[in-house]
Structure 1
Amino acid sequence: MDAPIGVIDSGVGGLTVVKRMLESLPNEPIIYIGDDARCPYGPRTPEEVITFTMEMANALQAMGIKMLVIACNTATAVALDKVRSHFTFPVIGVIDPGARAAVKETDSRKIAVLATSGTIQSGAYQQAIHDHLPTATIHALACPEFVPLVESGQYKSAYAGNVVQSGLQSLVGKEFDTAILGCTHYPLLKNHIQNALPEGVKIISSAVETVHDIEKTLRDCNLKNYASHAVPPVFFTSGSTMHFREIALDWLAIDEADVRTIAF
């Protein structure tokens, strides 16, 4: 089926999922919406996040998508059930895949979750981890300063390293062997996060497991595209197309990016 897969995020963070999709599913058309103008979602009320998520999902439905990936942890935490009940196409979130990946990796059953304030307050990761590993000890930490670092393009800077070091200070002395990057923006800060955490801690991004879920759903629902050629993704942003393009080219390691404006 040659209809596109829709991907939505509060900004550029969902590009971490798109990057893995391009590697594993190069023949699948992708339409991405990043709501940069209203990012970050973490400090917003659940009602706002649900409204924004539904607006993006409705826009993608009008573009004829066959599946929706909510590549935003905050939106997944508060809006996944609402979106699933509203549309007939499959809808995939990123929290359960991230929790599964962490449970597979941990030896000590002690896991840190780094996420936005909204995701931590929702308890969604804590619940998902305990669903797969009831005996897990979870250290949940809101890191509200991280998303603005990525959205502003400062994620490679020494300043970002200092902000990350400070933001993770409260984990000093806590015991855990696995840390979930519970926001799709955070993999762009992975090197800084790795440097700030104790040596040997395994860092988990939900992107790999999420793409496994996408692949399984494509097969199970007979939605797979069997075209023999790669299809370049199309990106929409509610913010600056130039800024979005710069980050997309850098993170995805592509030569061109079709970035368009969308308004809500």
Structure 2
Amino acid sequence: MSSDSSASTASLPIGVFDSGVGGLTVLRALKNALPGEDFLYLGDTARLPYGTKSGATVARYALQTTKVLVDQGVKLLVIACNTASAVALPGLAQAYPHIPVVGVIEPGARACAAQAPHGRIAVIATRGTVRGAAYQTAILRLRPEATIATRPAQVFVALAEEGWTEGPEVEAVAARYLTPLMAEFPGGKPDCLVLGCTHFPVLAQAIRKTLPEGVCLVDSAETTAESVAAELTERGLRKPGARAGGSVRFFATDDPQRFAKVGEIFLGEPLAPEDVTLVDL
């Protein structure tokens, strides 16, 4: 590849997709880690949730959504969805061999494997992610001796989308999920708790309050952003002269008004419906 071609590719945006708005926590982390980069975000809100669909269906949806981003021109793809990361990443890498693809599961697995001195790791996620055992598989590949306990925390998704992110009610739900999960480890204390759903980072403060002291919290949004930054650097794809003020374009497959309203919670900044482009898949 010529130097002119490399520079042209590096100037392209980063494509990010999710089944809905939860992946905006990943976009938020990406913007913080790479403030000068440009992004395209697509939420497949017409067909959420992915967690209840078969693996073959999710893989098909992922190919359809990423085609929209690739057709716009992107230099890297981020799968900001745990379910799609678990089942669709190999197919996307095969479909677009010239574009690096980063999911949310491997970065989270690497982070907790590195931060768990005794190999005791707890994971909370949606039912689909827990059922698919994607985190267990990824962690055991790195730490075969690890002790892993998982628990679906579906109510967290609803709380996050309602904007109920803190307070005694949220802490009570967190305790209901986490107390029995902590009890599965010696001394009632794992080394790490992995937030295995992109909705969960907005509840991190309430979750921390219910954890035993010394348990590290692994946010897969932050770890994914770190992986993307490293991948861009390794491949020489950092945007030339990027410092701050990168742009974001939003796409949704249904109801831009609701996408904007709920999306503000996860993005952490105002989002107007007119800034969201409706696409038909």
Q: What TM-score, normalized by structure 1, do the two folds share?
A: 0.90
Give the Cα separation in 1 of the matches to 2:85 and 2:234: 22
Q: Select 1:239's aligned residue among 225, 231, 254.
A: 254
Q: Please list, as runs of the form range in 1=range in 2, the aligned pairs for 1:66-85 lying within 5 A after superposition.
A: 66-85=75-94
Give the Cα separation in 1 of the matches to 2:11 and 2:56: 34
Q: Please list, as runs of the form range in 1=range in 2, the aligned pairs for 1:248-259 lying within 5 A after superposition.
A: 248-255=263-270, 258-259=275-276
Distance 1:196 1:158, change over 3 A: same
The count of corresponding residues between Structure 1 and Structure 2 is 264
Q: 3-state SS of the aligned residue for 2:40?
A: strand
Which moves more between the two structures, 41-50 or 163-172?
Answer: 163-172
Give the Cα separation in 2 of the matches to 1:45 and 1:60: 23
Residue 157 of structure 1 deviates from its aligned partner by 6.3
Deviation per CA, 1:211-250, whole angstroms, max 9, x where unpaired?
A: 2221222123222211445222111122332333234444
Contact 2:163–2:265 (8 Å) recurs in 1: no
Give the Cα separation in 1 of the matches to 2:197 and 2:266: 16
Deviation per CA, 1:89-114, whole angstroms, max 9, x where unpaired?
A: 11111111001111222223110011
Distance 1:194 1:239, change over 3 A: farther
Give the Cα separation in 1 of the matches to 2:88 and 2:82: 10
Q: Say if 2:74 is the partner of 1:59.
A: no
Q: 3-state SS of the aligned residue for 2:56?
A: helix
Distance 1:152 1:261, change over 3 A: farther
Which moves more between the two structures, 218-227 or 148-157?
Answer: 148-157
Relative to total residues, which structure has the larger helix share, 1 or 2? Answer: 2
Q: Select 1:187's aligned residue among 187, 201, 212.
A: 201
RMSD, aligned α-carbons? 2.1
Q: 3-state SS of the aligned residue for 2:51?
A: coil
5+ long unaligned stretches in structure 2: 1-9
Distance 1:82 1:113, change over 3 A: same
Which moves more between the two structures, 73-82 or 10-19?
Answer: 10-19
Q: Select 2:113's aligned residue among 103, 107, 118.
A: 103
Contact 2:256–2:276 (8 Å) recurs in 1: yes
Report the counterpart of residue 278 of structure 2 in structure 1. Answer: 261
One-letter identity of the residue aligned with 2:201: P
Q: 3-state SS of the aligned residue for 1:168?
A: helix
Give the Cα separation in 1 of the matches to 2:153 and 2:264: 26
Give the Cα separation in 2 of the matches to 1:161 and 1:210: 26
Q: Please list, as runs of the form range in 1=range in 2, the aligned pairs for 1:157-172 lying within 5 A after superposition.
A: 159-172=169-182
Q: Please list, as runs of the form range in 1=range in 2, the aligned pairs for 1:61-210 lying within 5 A after superposition.
A: 61-88=70-97, 89-156=99-166, 159-175=169-185, 176-210=190-224
Which moves more between the two structures, 193-202 or 115-124?
Answer: 193-202
Q: What TM-score, normalized by structure 2, do the two folds share?
A: 0.85
5+ long unaligned stretches in structure 1: none
Give the Cα separation in 1 of the matches to 2:224 and 2:86: 15
Report the counterpart of residue 23 of structure 1 in structure 2. Answer: 32
Residue 165 of structure 1 deviates from its aligned partner by 3.4
Q: 3-state SS of the aligned residue for 2:197?
A: coil
Residue 21 of structure 1 deviates from its aligned partner by 1.3
The structure number with the bigger radius of gyration is 2
